[in-house]
Structure 1
C-alpha cells in the first residue's frame, strides 16, 4: 500500500509538474519580453524577502506533520482532531505575525535594492506579494493532513488546476495590458480560491474533523510538540538564511538586474527540483508510515534503496544542467541573459550537494531526529553569511554560491547523516560516506565523458540542444547502469520501473 501510494503521488506530481513547466516557460518568456529584466529582478527579490519572513513559521508544520504520522496510521481520529485544531490556531497566529513583520520591513526596502529600477508602485507591488504570502498561512494546516496521509496527489491536482487558470489569465493580461499590478492580482485571487477549494476537499475526506466535540491536546503531547518546534525553529532559521539570502546579497551588493539574470537559472532548477520533490514528498509520507509501523532493519534497507534513486536522479540532472543550462538560456531568451560558466558550475554543484541530502532529510524528519542536530543550522547560517559576504566582495557573484558550498560542506553534509546513522540505524558514518563518495565519483566520471562527447557541438541552435540533450540522456544513465547493475539497489529500482511500465501499458490497452 505504501509503494502504491508513493507511485500514485509521484505520477500525479510529475504530470502536474509537466503542465506547470510548459505554462511557466510561456509566462516567463512573455514576462521578460514585455516587462524586462528589472521587473524580473524585483519579482525574484520580493519572493526572497517573503521567504525570509516565513521564519515566523518556525517549523510548526514539520513538527506537527511528524506527530500526525502515527495517529493517521492507527486511525486515531481523536488525536488527529486535536492536532488539527492546535495546528489551525498556530497557523492563523503565524499568518498575522508574517503580515506584521512584512509591514515593519516596508520602510527599509530602499536599502535592499542597489541601483533602484524605474518601476512605479514598488510599495504596492511589495504589499501584493505580502498579501499572497499571508493568505496561504490560513489554509496550510488543511494541505498538511493530505500530505501526511499519503494523498498528496490531491494537492497536486488542486495546484495544477489553479496554476493553469492563473497562467492563462496572466499571459492574456500581459499581452493585452502589459500591467504588472494586474498580473499580481490574478496570482493573489487564484491562490486564495485554490486554498479555499482544498480546504473544502479536506472537510469532505475527513468529515470527523468537524463532527462531535472539540478535542484538545494533553500536556504531554503539547510538551513533545513544543520540543520538536524548538528544534525545527533552528532548522527553519538556518534554511532560510542559507537558501533565502542569495538574491538579497546580489541585490544589495551588485544590483537588481543580476537578480533577474539569476532568477532565470533558479526557475529552471526549481522546475527540476519540483519534479524530484514530487517523488520525495510522496516517499516521505510513506517513510513516516514505515517508521511508525516497521523495524529498524527494514527501515535501513529502504533507506539504501531510496538513497540510490536519490543519487541517480540528482546525478543525472546535475550533469544535464551543466551541459544544457547556458545553451538553453541563450536559445530561449538570448545570450545577454547568460551567466559565466564558473558561476553556473557553482550553482550546479550546490544543486547536487543539496539534492544528495534529500533522503537523509526525509528520514530525519519522519523519525523526529531534528532535535538531535538543532544547533547545526545556526553554525551553517553564520558560516554561509560570513563566507558569502567576504567572497562576494572578493570574487563577485560567484562568491555567494561558493559561500553556500562552504557552509553546506562544513555542516549539513556530514552532521545530518551522522545523526541518522547514530540514532536510527546504530551504524558508523563511514558506511554512508563510502557510498556517497562512490556515487559522487561515478557522477564526475559521467560528467566528464558527457562533456567530452558534447564538445563537438559548438552551436546553440534548437537542433544542437536536442543533440546535447540526447547525449546527456544516454551517457550518464549508461554509466550509472554499468557501475551498479549488480547491486540490490539497482534491482529494486528496476522492479519499480518494470512495475510502472507494465501498469502504463495495461492502462493504454
Structure 2
C-alpha cells in the first residue's frame, strides 16, 4: 500500500496523468482529423449516437464506482489488508454481474436500431447492427477491470494506470490511423479499439497483482454484512445521481438526431471532441487529487479540510475559467483552420457549449468533497429532477431553437438544481459554514469570466486577424488578459498565495530529484 507523502503522490499522479492525457489528446486529435478526411461525416454521427446510447446503458453501473472508492479510503489509511481484499472480491462479483446486465440490455436495443436511425445514410455501407455490437463489446469489456482501477485511484496511485495507458493508446491510435489511411474501413477501426481494450485490461490486472499481493493471499475473504449493507445503501444514492447525470449529459445527441439528423450530430461531435480533450486534461489533474482529498477528510482537522477545499476550488476556477474563455473566443477559429468553414457552428452555439462546460467544471471541487464525505443521500432525488427538467426543456426549446435550445435547456436544468444544492450540502454539513461564503466567491469568479470574454470580443471587434497568425494572436490575448484580471482581483487572497506556495514546493521537489 502507499507509503509516499501526499505531495509526492500528487506530483506523480498529476504529472503522469497530464502526460498521458496530453498524449491521448494529441493522438486523438490526429486520429479524428484523419477520420474526417477519409470517412463520411455520417460516420461521426453514428459514432456519437451509439456512444450516447451505450453511455445511457451504463446506468446499470448505478454509480457503484463512487461508492467503491469511498469504501476503500478508511481500510487503506488503516492498512487493513483483509478488509481491502474482501472489498475487492465483493466488487469483482458485482462488476461481473453489471457487465452481463449491460450486455443483455444492449442486445435488447438491437431490434429498435432501425427506429433510432431512420433512413440509414447511403454513405454508410456497413451494417449498423454489426457496428453497434462492436460498440457494445467495447463498453462491456471496460467493466471487468473497473474495480481494480478504483483501488489504484483510492490509494493515490493513479499514475500507474496513466503510465500504461500512454503506451496502449499510442499503439491503438497508430494502428487506427494506418487502417483509416490504407483501407478507409470503419469496422477495422472499431475492432482495433476492441483489441487494445483487452490488452489494457490484462495489463491493469497484472499490475494490481504486483502492487497488492495480499489480494491473492485473502482471495476467499468476504465482506461482512454490515459493510455490504452500507455499500448498497450508498449505491442506491449514487445510482440516482448516476441516472440523473447521464440523462443530463448523454441525451443531447439523441434529441438532436431526432430534430436535425446525423449530419448535425457529426458537426457537433467535432466541438464536443475538442472540449472533451480540454476537459480530459483538467479532469486528470483533479481526479489525481481525489484519493488525497479522501485521505485528508479521514485523517485531518476541519480547518485543514476547509483550507484544502478553498485552494482546490480556486485552482478549479482558474483552470476551468481560462478554458471556458478559450472555448468561447478560439473554438471557431480553430475549427476553421482544422477542418474547414463548412464544419463551423454559429457563435451562439459555441457560447452555449462554453457555458455548459463552465457550469459542469465549476462543480468539480464540490463533487470531490461531497463524495469523499460520503454525502451520497443528500441531493439524490434532485439529480433526477435535473434530468427530467433537462429532457422536458430540451424537447420544448429544441423544437423552437434547435441545437441552441437543447444546450440552453441543459444549462437551465443545472442552474436551478445542482449548482446551488451540492455546495450548500458540503458547506452546511461538511464544513459547518454558511454556504453564502461559496456563492459569493462563485459570483465573483463568474463575473471575471464574463468580463474577460467581453473584453476579448471587444478587442477582436477592432483588431481582427484570420488564419493561423490570428489564432496565435488570440491565444496570447486569452493567456494574458484574463490572468491580469484574476491577479488584480485576488492578489491578496489566501487562495492565490497557496497556489504560489504549492507550485514553488512542487518545483523544488522536482529539482531535487
After TM superposition, the score normalised by the length of structure 2 is 0.97
Correspondence 1:468 to 2:471? no
Within 5 Å, give how 1:38-437 maps onto structure 2.
38-118=42-122, 119=124, 120-212=126-218, 214-437=220-443
Q: Against the structure 1 CA distance between its residues 70 and 5, is the aligned structure 2 distance closer, same or farther, given a 3 Å change threshold?
A: same
The whole-number CA distance in structure 1 between the counterparts of 2:117 and 2:28 is 26
Give 1:6 deviation, angstroms: 1.7
Give 1:114 deviation, angstroms: 4.6
Q: CA RMSD in A?
A: 1.2
Residue 22 of structure 2: aligned partner? 18
The whole-number CA distance in structure 1 between the counterparts of 2:202 and 2:397 is 45
The whole-number CA distance in structure 1 between the counterparts of 2:117 and 2:258 is 5
Q: Structure 1 residue aligned with 2:36, among 32, 36, 39?
A: 32
Secondary structure at 2:288 match in 1? helix
The whole-number CA distance in structure 1 between the counterparts of 2:410 and 2:422 is 16
| Contact 1:14/1:275 (<8 A) preserved | yes
Tell which deviates more after alignment, 104-113 or 62-71. Answer: 104-113
The whole-number CA distance in structure 2 between the counterparts of 1:114 and 1:497 is 54
The whole-number CA distance in structure 2 between the counterparts of 1:505 and 1:44 is 44
Tell which deviates more after alignment, 329-338 or 442-451. Answer: 442-451
Correspondence 1:439 to 2:445? yes
Give 1:213 deviation, angstroms: 5.6
Q: Against the structure 1 CA distance between its residues 464 and 213, is the aligned structure 2 distance closer, same or farther, given a 3 Å change threshold?
A: closer
The whole-number CA distance in structure 2 between the counterparts of 1:29 and 1:431 is 45
| Contact 2:54/2:139 (<8 A) preserved | yes
Residue 9 of structure 1: aligned partner? 13
After TM superposition, the score normalised by the length of structure 1 is 0.98
| Contact 1:318/1:352 (<8 A) preserved | yes
The whole-number CA distance in structure 2 between the counterparts of 1:142 and 1:461 is 46
Give 1:237 deviation, angstroms: 0.2
The whole-number CA distance in structure 2 between the counterparts of 1:213 and 1:263 is 44
Secondary structure at 1:370 match in 2? coil
Give 1:457 deviation, angstroms: 4.5
The whole-number CA distance in structure 2 between the counterparts of 1:126 and 1:433 is 44
Secondary structure at 2:289 match in 1? helix
| Contact 1:66/1:366 (<8 A) preserved | yes
| Contact 2:85/2:218 (<8 A) preserved | no
The whole-number CA distance in structure 1 between the counterparts of 2:210 and 2:463 is 55
| Contact 2:153/2:291 (<8 A) preserved | yes
Gaps (5+ residues) in structure 2? none
Q: Structure 1 residue aligned with 2:488, among 472, 482, 487?
A: 482
The whole-number CA distance in structure 2 between the counterparts of 1:455 and 1:22 is 31
| Contact 2:89/2:219 (<8 A) preserved | no
| Contact 2:390/2:410 (<8 A) preserved | yes
Give 1:214 deviation, angstroms: 1.4
The whole-number CA distance in structure 1 between the counterparts of 2:118 and 2:443 is 41
Give 1:499 deviation, angstroms: 2.7
Residue-by-residue CA offset, 1:53-109 (whole Å, 9 max, x unaligned): 100101111111101011011111011011101100000000000000000011111
| Contact 2:172/2:196 (<8 A) preserved | yes
| Contact 2:86/2:218 (<8 A) preserved | no
The whole-number CA distance in structure 2 between the counterparts of 1:3 and 1:311 is 21
